[in-house]
Amino acid sequence: MTVLEFAAPVLEWRALAPILLVLAAGCLGILLEAVLPHHLRFVAQMSLVLASVVLSLAFLVINWFRGISGVLAMGSITLDGPAYFLWGALLVFGALAFMVFSERRVNGGVTAFAASAAAVPGSVEEAESARAGREHTEVFPLGLFALGGMMVFLAASDLITLFVALEVFSLPLYLMCAMARRRRLLSQEAALKYFLLGAFSSGFFLMGIALLYVYSGSFDLAAIHDAVTASVFGEGLLIAGLALLGVGLLFKIGAVPFHSWTPDVYMGAPTPVTGFMAICTKLAAVGALLRVFYVALDGERWTWQPLLAIIAVLTMVVGITAALTQTDIKRLLAYSSIAHAGFILTAVVGASQIVPAGQATSAASIMFYLAAYGFATIGAFALVTMVRNPAGEENGLAGWAGLARKNPAVAGLMALFMLSFAGIPLTGGFIGKWAVFTAAWRGGYWWLVIVAALASLVGAWFYLRVIVVMFGQEPAKGTFVGSASAWTWIPVVIGAVATLWLGMLPDSVMQLATFAGTFLR
């Protein structure tokens, strides 16, 4: 009979500092919310968020140069190359997304978030709080919690931590989705759907964890790997666990057939939040998917490769096909993000992890893809917030007609991002696609590459349609480009510069990704 003793956890403070800083700033933000008067909150929260993210990024870079890596926090977090790269990407994209959160000018002096999220839409209370010019600055700490959760999610080296992190970043996202200032019913509906389906998928996720635990006797990814390579019985448990865990992860990525939430949620959520989700959630989920499948389930790859190949094809085809007839720019971008998940999955399937020196592993090519996709996504959603009609944002594609004549800069930048999404050379999207297709080809999945190339060909059609609408049609009445502050323009400009940079001079980032492209087991 042993007595349960409480052992104080051993934490590597310095190595964990990037996560701890973000989460601590989130907690501090909640405190600020409680003690500061209304008029000070916005500035305080905004500064806190940006400062913490920048500081966290600084710690990350310092740790990287000091060569700190390994399994941390008593075996629950692995700090390795992919974790460094993806953390860095998360922090950069998070910072850019939070800048868009801070935009007030384009919205008539208030943020894009509800004046009083708890008020019933259309009620007197809502009208009063809107008149009083109130805003929900809680969105900033919520964003920080989500960001922290994502960071843990993609670095988690045991399944329990993975699950906790999943919930830590999902719950704030559900809330943030419900906080749109305009079209609040749509926003709340989106949040509720996201929540219900997210809970549903968490169920599968948790069941998968349980089955894998039964199979291997451990939550630890490395231990599961050992069990997979050593054991010969209980194959059924392993496959069932793998399937259910995979479903949970594929749900977050937005892979078909677990994608149905994506268009509705992307459309209903406040646009800055959509931008945040479109890149950061995807990035974290892809990171976790890679880690689970490459670190724990690598020995079982002959089982999951065909499955993921089918899902990749479905995801690309459904995403692109559905996008063809969309009339709402946010829905279009949602389906586009589904299609991109499919392209990423091709490289996951390829699973080329041992490559000649200096060449990109699957993980490296995916990380580059995510970087290229992320910069274009951040920029595109920031631009969506600027195209407006008198009632608010103009998301209907018809309203975007002839935008180039009203504001050539906005239309031109949007065109650039569309070209990058379509994978046109000289943009980051092209190099990214090239990289993931190479990884898939090298893994022996040449037919998948052909399908993916054809899919991207069809996909170019709807990206180009946006350009045609903006440049080739008579200007739509009632749409105008709102005057935005630097908080929108900085992400747009950084996104555009990075998109071109990654397209023309991809070497530096590609080398970084290649260098950081190996998982630690």
Q: Output phi, psi for 70, to 5 deg.
A: 130, -175
Interface with other proteins by CB under 8 A: which range of 113-121, 145-153, 314-322, 417-425?
A: 314-322
Instruction: State the minimum distance, in angstroms, from the CB of residue 240 to other proteins.
Output: 8
Instruction: State the minimum distance, in angstroms, from the CB of residue 212 to other proteins.
Output: 14
> Which residues contact residue 275 at a Cβ distance below 8 angstroms, ignoring those fewer than 6 apart?
97, 100, 377, 378, 380, 381, 382, 384
Told to check if 71 binds other proteins by CB under 8 A, we report no
Told to check if 251 binds other proteins by CB under 8 A, we report yes
Nearest to 159 by CA among 198, 109, 210: 210
Choice from 132, 185, 214, 235 touching other proteins (CB under 8 A): 235
Choice from 140, 153, 204, 215 touching other proteins (CB under 8 A): 204
Residue 304 or 375 with smaller CB distance to other proteins: 304
Beta strands 392-393 and 77-79, pairing class: unpaired
Instruction: State the minimum distance, in angstroms, from the CB of residue 216 to other proteins.
Output: 18
Told to check if 306 binds other proteins by CB under 8 A, we report yes
Residue 47 or 327 with smaller CB distance to other proteins: 327
What's 343-395 look like in SS3? HHHHHHHHCCCCCCCCCCCHHHHHHHHHHHHHHHHHHHHHHHHHEEECCEECC
- Which tokens sit at 299? 């020995």
Told to check if 364 binds other proteins by CB under 8 A, we report no
Can you tell me whether residue 415 is helix, strand or coil? helix
Residue 200 or 471 with smaller CB distance to other proteins: 200
CA 377 to chain centre: 10
Instruction: State the minimum distance, in angstroms, from the CB of residue 400 to other proteins.
Output: 19
Instruction: State the minimum distance, in angstroms, from the CB of residue 243 to other proteins.
Output: 5
Q: How far apart are CA 339 and CA 208, in angstroms?
A: 26
Told to check if 123 binds other proteins by CB under 8 A, we report no
- Which tokens sit at 294? 């490459």
The torsion of the CA quartet 223, 201, 307, 224, rounded to 10 degrees, works out to: 0
Residue 161 or 514 with smaller CB distance to other proteins: 514
Q: What angle do CA 221, 223, 225 make, to 5 degrees?
A: 70
Instruction: State the minimum distance, in angstroms, from the CB of residue 155 to other proteins.
Output: 26
| Residue 193 and residue 262 in contact, taking contact as beta carbons nearer than 8 Å | no
- Which tokens sit at 462? 């709807």
- Using CB under 8 A as the binding rule, the residues of this chain from 255 to 294 that contact other proteins are 256-258, 260-261, 263-264
Told to check if 448 binds other proteins by CB under 8 A, we report no
Q: Which residues of 349-362 are buried (b: 16+ CB within 10 A; e: fewer)?
A: bbbbbebeeeebbb
- For other proteins, what does the binding mask look like between residues 129 and 148, x meaning CB under 8 A? --------------------
- Using CB under 8 A as the binding rule, the residues of this chain from 168 to 197 that contact other proteins are 192-193, 196-197
Length of the chain: 521
Residue 85 or 462 with smaller CB distance to other proteins: 462
Q: How far apart are CA 500 and CA 121, in angstroms?
A: 42
**Long-range contacts made by residues 304-307, C-beta under 8 angstroms, separation at least 24?**
304/242, 304/246, 305/349, 305/351, 305/443, 305/445, 307/243, 307/246
Residue 144 or 224 with smaller CB distance to other proteins: 224
Beta strands 77-79 and 70-72, pairing class: antiparallel
Instruction: State the minimum distance, in angstroms, from the CB of residue 361 to other proteins.
Output: 22
Choice from 69, 202, 303, 518 touching other proteins (CB under 8 A): 303
- For other proteins, what does the binding mask look like between residues 457 and 476, x meaning CB under 8 A? -x--x---------------
Told to check if 450 binds other proteins by CB under 8 A, we report no
- Which tokens sit at 33? 């919310």
Residue 44 or 186 with smaller CB distance to other proteins: 186
Instruction: State the minimum distance, in angstroms, from the CB of residue 267 to other proteins.
Output: 10
CA distances from 322 to 28, 197, 220, 268, 327 (A): 43, 20, 39, 18, 11
Instruction: State the minimum distance, in angstroms, from the CB of residue 461 to other proteins.
Output: 6
Q: How far apart are CA 448 and CA 441, in angstroms?
A: 8
Instruction: State the minimum distance, in angstroms, from the CB of residue 251 to other proteins.
Output: 7
- Using CB under 8 A as the binding rule, the residues of this chain from 318 to 347 that contact other proteins are 318, 320-325
Instruction: State the minimum distance, in angstroms, from the CB of residue 261 to other proteins.
Output: 6
Choice from 55, 130, 222, 243 touching other proteins (CB under 8 A): 243
* Residue numbers at the binding site for other proteins (CB under 8 A): 192-193, 196-197, 200-201, 204, 235, 239-240, 242-244, 246-247, 251, 256-258, 260-261, 263-264, 302-304, 306-307, 310-311, 318, 320-325, 458, 461
